[in-house]
Amino acid sequence: MPVFQQSALNTTALIVPDLYVQIVPPQSLLLNGVPTDVLGVVGTASWGPVGEPVIIGSMSDYAANFGAVMPRKYDMGTQVATAVQQGAGNFRCVRVTDGTDSAASLAILNGVTFTAVYTGSLGNQITVTFSAGSAASSWRLTVALPGLSPEVFDNITGTGAAFWENLVNAVNDGNGVLRGPSHLITASAGAMTAVPVSGTFSFSSGTPGTDGASNILSATLVGSDTLPRQGMYALRGQSCAIALLADSDDPTQWGVQTAFGISEGVYMILTGPAGDNIANAVTVKAEAGIDSYAAKLMFGDWIYWSDQANAITRLVSPQGFVAGRLANLSPEQSSLNKPLYGVIGSQKSGQPGGSTVTTYASADLEVLLSSGIDVIANPQPGGNYWGVRGGHNSSSNAAINGDNYTRLTNYIAYTLSAGMGAYVGQLVNETLFQNIRGTLLAFLNGLLAQGMLGSADGSLPFAVACDAANNPQSRTALGYVQADVQVRYQAINEKFIVNVQGGQTVQVSVQTLPAT
């Protein structure tokens, strides 16, 4: 009584009388949506791998992988911190340098040289401590970096060159099954004749490490698309729904960011330079040729933000605030009229307690929004709080210029891309058509049930066609199968009109509601 997987047995050519069991998998796939909260951030840092995406879930994760927030332009930690304040918690962070970055190192007793595993100034805070080991006639090496758990290499034995060789091997290869290689330093042998001495040695007294952040340009953040990829291009294949290049305010680099957003299905958050004026912003955007749903351009009215890590108030790009808020919204939602947290002022409005209290006039907002430029402002339609004033991308097409169009379109498209490929290689027949329709309708009905799709009149906001009508024999004979999907999104209430008629002569019609 053999058991077979479906399609592994030719059921029209059986000879032996027997029971044949075929395991038939479910015919209709169920699609689970791709994440829409993954935020890619590219910028400088004082520690960590260069050009390598790192998963970050919180500021403590960021500090462990890249060091502290640095009070300078192009700092990656600043953008992560402002995004975290909006509720974002799923990052892919890529560190960039200008090529001058170096790793801190320290030579001890001419017996060994320790080098920080990453470049950057944070490595200057590493300390190594020699002390007596747990076993007799052995030594213990403790490697410490503030904010991280110390690494302890115990029971290192030997004398003369043998000791230093054992020490180097312990640091580089691990010291037993419970203590793997160091994640903070590497070791290389020196003359290996000195006698070890108890004490703590600081990398600050050796050759200092540098961040390579002094000569960063927007083009550095964009990086290169050749292997190994650097900068923005290191985010390829990372499933980012939203991405930003920290403080990248060079309009000559907006075009490549937009093209990347289209190719990867990423909503790119761009920014103008700090202190920009409206007329210049409109002119520069037009000259840059940015007119796409894949990019959201924020006006260069930068934000005053309280940097708790450095105990100062700083002027920072609006990108992190906007990207973090979008990452914390369902994809059918708009950033319009949603509160932003951590904003204490802007260049136009000034800092709290200052003399500047200017707000945007309707004419100002009309020029910006009609040109595809959004802005963070206070007040909002819902009250006196900071928020995104338009909820628009950079497209001039009113049908597709909402945040919701970009994010929901990418969500649906990349969900289908991730799941529908299972039907490739199957036989083309009515059963295949039914299964494809079933999968697509189940996914869309799920969006409808969760309120991500809907309609003002209650009608079904989607339709799926996959049958012989749109798959004629002349096409299927060549291996083509086509499914046509139509989805109508819910509009965003942007212009709310309330008509009020008042006066002594107004005739009021009273409607009596039926009792419930």
Strands 127-132 and 139-144: antiparallel
336 plus 287 within the same structural domain: yes
What is the C-alpha separation between 269 and 326, in angstroms, rounded?
10
Phi, psi angle pair for 350, to nearest 5°: 85, 175
Instruction: Please indicate, yes or no, whether the overall pTM of this predicted structure exceeds 0.75.
Output: yes
Strands 3-5 and 21-23: parallel
Q: What is the pLDDT of residue 193?
A: 74
For the chain, the residue count is 516
How many domains would you assign to the chain?
3
379 plus 238 within the same structural domain: yes
- Picking from 188, 205, 222, the residue at the C-terminal end of a domain is 205
272 plus 392 within the same structural domain: yes
396 plus 260 within the same structural domain: yes
249 plus 360 within the same structural domain: yes
What is the C-alpha separation between 54 and 35, in angstroms, rounded?
17
Which of 189, 183, 251 has the alpha carbon at shortest distance from 222? 251
**Band (106; pLDDT cuts 50, 70, 90):** very high
335 plus 286 within the same structural domain: yes
Distances (CA, A) of 176 to 167, 184, 291, 450: 13, 18, 58, 52
196 plus 249 within the same structural domain: no
278 plus 344 within the same structural domain: yes
Structural domain includes residue 119 = yes
pLDDT digits (tens, 9 = 90+) for 201-235: 999 999 999 999 999 999 999 999 999 999 999 99
Which distant-in-sequence residues (6+ apart) come within 8 Å of 496 by Cβ? 381
Domain harbouring 80, CATH code: 3.40.50.11780
Structural domain includes residue 19 = no
pLDDT digits (tens, 9 = 90+) for 155-198: 999 988 889 999 999 999 998 888 999 999 999 987 777 788 99
pLDDT digits (tens, 9 = 90+) for 272-321: 999 999 999 999 999 999 999 999 999 999 999 999 999 999 999 999 99
- Picking from 404, 439, 470, the residue at the C-terminal end of a domain is 404
90 plus 116 within the same structural domain: no
Domain that holds residue 495: 428-516
